[in-house]
Amino acid sequence: MVQILLWAENIVDYSTDEEFDDSQISFTAAKIYNSVNHLICVGSDDLLNNYCIHLFIDTDGILQPYAITNTPMQDSDYILDETNKIFENESITLTNSCIYALVGVNGIGKSTFLNSIIQPSTLDKGSVKIDDIPSTDFTAKYHYAFVPDTKDMFLNLTGKEYLQFVSELYNQKEKFDELLAIYIPKLKLENSLEQTISSYSLGMKQKIYLAGAFMSNAQNIILDEPFNAIDPESTSIIKKILFDLKDTGKMILFSVHNLDLVSNFCDKIIFIDNRHSIFECNNPQNFDVLEKIFFDKCVIKK
């Protein structure tokens, strides 16, 4: 079960009087100010102890400068763009034995929503509880397994080494062989376990990361676009696995763009509408109904 109270802000406003070339300056992160989402970096080499480089992450995920100064800046020194809040005064509880689909247009905040659960440092305000444990408590990490929408993790490990690592991390070492025998044949990865993940196709990488989440035996499974790069056969298999996990009492949350997949799969749908508000509904099991809700509520009107 996951309980979420969100006041997250995505601050992207930045300014500088000089063109900033990060290739000319070597720096390391010194401190994160969650209240305004900026990094304070200290100079090194010729600039060591001489300058503080203040950076923001822009809308493309690229570090950009706010200022280069010889003294640390305070929160009050920053100009905050209050129009770029992602979520404000939102709350939702995700219950066990349920599959949730997270739906919204591109860039509306689906990844921010997922990150608010697994990365409490991204929250400016609010709180998240996972199985009644505050997400800021390290032990909460053992109560969820998360697969991000990236396919470049642990590339130097073989598939088997990766799964062993996950099993040890989640204290499933004694059940490793049993869990391996359950999930690897279903996902048709038997012949790939001794190969490095870097040699995998995009779909195989997705499946090995999903296998790790399944083998973690975590109570809450959180997946960012899990059906990307997955062929129809594997999609059907993964859906069956998720149904089986739900039947054991687990909570499943996944983000998705494909409404057709949503209409015949999940139990409940969490929509992020065009005003960054969250609302939940039971799955009507009808594509036309879902499409109407999506276009009426979620598509940004120009």
pLDDT of 99-141, one tens digit each?
A: 999 999 988 889 888 988 998 887 777 889 999 999 999 999 9
Letter for the amino acid at 89? Answer: N
* Mean pLDDT, rounded, for 81-87: 57
d(C-alpha 142, C-alpha 293), whole Å: 35
Sheet strand arrangement including 278-282: 144-147, 220-224, 251-255, 98-103, 268-272, 278-282
Mean pLDDT to the nearest integer, 208-237: 95
Residue 47 DSSP class = G
Dist CA 137 CA 150 (whole Å): 25
Chain Cα centroid distance, residue 103: 14
Give CA torsion, residues 224, 230, 234, 239, to 10 deg: 30
* Residue-level pLDDT at 165: 95
pLDDT of residue 276: 86
Judged against a pLDDT cut of 70, whether residue 63 lies above it is answered with no
3-state secondary structure 228-288: CCCCHHHHHHHHHHHHHHHHCCCEEEEECCCHHHHHCCCCEEEEECCCCCEEEEECCCCHH
> CB atoms < 10 A from the CB of 235, how many?
15
Rounded to whole angstroms, how far apart are CA atoms 195 and 200? 8
SS3 134: strand
Across the chain, mean pLDDT equals: 79
Res 27 pLDDT > 70: no
Backbone angles phi, psi at 218, to 5 degrees: -70, 150
Strand order from edge to edge, sheet including 2-6: 90-94, 2-6, 126-130, 133-134
pLDDT in tens, 267-280: 999 999 988 899 99
% pLDDT > 90, the chain: 57
Residue 145's H or E segment, with its range, is strand 144-147
pLDDT of residue 225: 94
Could you tell me the pLDDT band of residue 174, with boundaries at 50, 70 and 90? very high
Q: What is the dihedral of CA 32, 108, 261, 147, to 10 degrees?
A: -10
User: Residue 66 has what DSSP assignment?
Assistant: E
How would you classify the pairing of strands 268-272 and 98-103? parallel
What letter represents residue 280's amino acid?
E
- Look at residues 210, 229, 227 and name the one whose alpha carbon lies nearest to residue 264: 227
Give the model's pLDDT for residue 121.
Answer: 81
- Tally of residues, the chain: 302
